[in-house]
């Protein structure tokens, strides 16, 4: 039987994914027509990115799953027309990219690299940074990405405290959960990484109260979602020196508007939502495996829990 797989994402995504998806679907032993247009009632699976105009999933009565190309699903999870199973992206190459972004930016701040790279006065300042073992890190979110980043930082000897919704045990990481766990993690952290999904519960996790718990001068790295941080509270904490620097990859409005104060703040680094990209060859294999599972009656991988919102 030939499956109909609808690709609902941007033209640029199509150019990148068409060939790797066709190859991965064939390698999974499936026969499918991968298409950008099909009668809704004929579609078996939808590959989806929020760059697609598709909003009404109700006519897709035969569709067995909607397979997101994105890890974060906040723009689709609450769609009331979406009754089909929704699977988010867990791509090993995306995880690798996120580890590189987080470790790179953590080391920039840990080693005080800017002091030497930007040294307009040619000041000879031989003071050394502490060792990583003396620089506590809080990892807010201990899912696929947070756990991989926590492990990579711990391998460099940073003492890492992870925080999640449910209790966890991860070798080499001190794991906390719940409101008290958040306060405890923040009260020691010189570097805070936010890798939580955007849900009603995680919005403004970093706010005036929680930012005040940090040791003075702590650094924030946010590759999660803009809404995890209260922008005004962050700007106030930066101006007061409570937060020493914020490196932000994600924003409430993207692209970040040209007049947003983050662009010109001397202690904010903006990266344009590039912390970790889904990579077509590996992501296509993940998608194809889920289609194979759907056809074999096996449980889907990375299924989103609608109630939790991630």
The torsion angles phi and psi of 59, rounded to 5 degrees, stand at: -70, -10
Shortest Cβ 126–ligand OXD spacing (Å): 40
Residue 218 sits in the site that holds ligand OXD (CB under 6 A): no
Shortest Cβ 124–ligand NDP spacing (Å): 38
Q: Active-site residues: which are they?
A: 225, 273
Residue 70 sits in the site that holds ligand OXD (CB under 6 A): yes
Residue 226 sits in the site that holds ligand NDP (CB under 6 A): no
Binder of ligand NDP out of 50, 136, 159, 224 (CB under 6 A): 224
Closest CA relative to residue 219, chosen from 129, 288, 85, 309: 129
Residue 159 binds which entry of ligand NDP, ligand OXD, none, with Cβ cut-offs from 5 to 8 Å by kind?
none
- Cβ proximity to ligand NDP: between 52 and 194 the closer is 194
| Site residue total, ligand OXD (CB under 6 A) | 5
Residue 278 sits in the site that holds ligand OXD (CB under 6 A): yes
Binder of ligand NDP out of 21, 30, 64, 72 (CB under 6 A): 72
Closest CA relative to residue 13, chosen from 61, 64, 43, 54: 54
Q: Which residues are near ligand OXD by CB under 6 A?
A: 70-72, 89, 278
Q: Which residues are near ligand NDP by CB under 6 A?
A: 71-72, 94, 141-146, 164-166, 195-199, 201-202, 223-225, 249-250, 273, 275-276, 310
């Amino acid at each position: 039987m030939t499956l109909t797989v609808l690709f609902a994402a941007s033209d640029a995504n199509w150019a990148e994914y068409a060939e790797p998806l066709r190859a991965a679907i064939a390698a999974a032993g499936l026969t499918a027509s991968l298409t950008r247009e099909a009668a809704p009632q004929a579609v078996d699976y939808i590959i989806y990115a929020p760059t697609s105009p598709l909003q009404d999933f109700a006519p897709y009565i035969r569709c067995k799953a909607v397979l997101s190309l994105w890890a974060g699903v906040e723009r689709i999870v609450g769609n009331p027309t979406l009754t089909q199973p929704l699977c988010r992206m867990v791509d090993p190459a995306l995880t690798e990219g996120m580890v590189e972004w987080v470790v790179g930016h953590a080391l920039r701040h840990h080693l005080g690299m800017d002091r030497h790279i930007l040294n307009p006065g040619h000041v000879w300042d031989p003071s050394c940074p502490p060792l990583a073992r003396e620089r506590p890190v809080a990892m807010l979110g201990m899912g696929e990405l947070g756990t991989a980043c926590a492990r990579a930082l711990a391998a460099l000897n940073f003492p890492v405290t992870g925080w999640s919704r449910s209790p966890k045990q991860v070798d080499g990481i001190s794991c906390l959960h719940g409101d008290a766990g958040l306060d405890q993690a923040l009260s020691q952290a010189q570097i805070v990484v936010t890798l939580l999904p955007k849900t009603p519960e995680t919005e403004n996790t970093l706010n005036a109260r929680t930012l005040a718990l940090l040791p003075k001068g702590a650094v924030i790295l946010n590759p999660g979602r803009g809404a995890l941080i209260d922008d005004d509270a962050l700007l106030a904490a930066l101006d007061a020196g409570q937060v020493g620097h914020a490196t932000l990859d994600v924003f409430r409005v993207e692209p970040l508007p040209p007049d947003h104060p983050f662009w010109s703040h001397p202690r904010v680094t903006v990266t344009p939502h590039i912390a970790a990209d889904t990579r077509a060859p590996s992501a296509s294999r993940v998608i194809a495996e889920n289609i194979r599972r759907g056809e074999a009656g096996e449980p889907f991988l990375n299924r989103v829990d609608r109630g939790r919102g991630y």
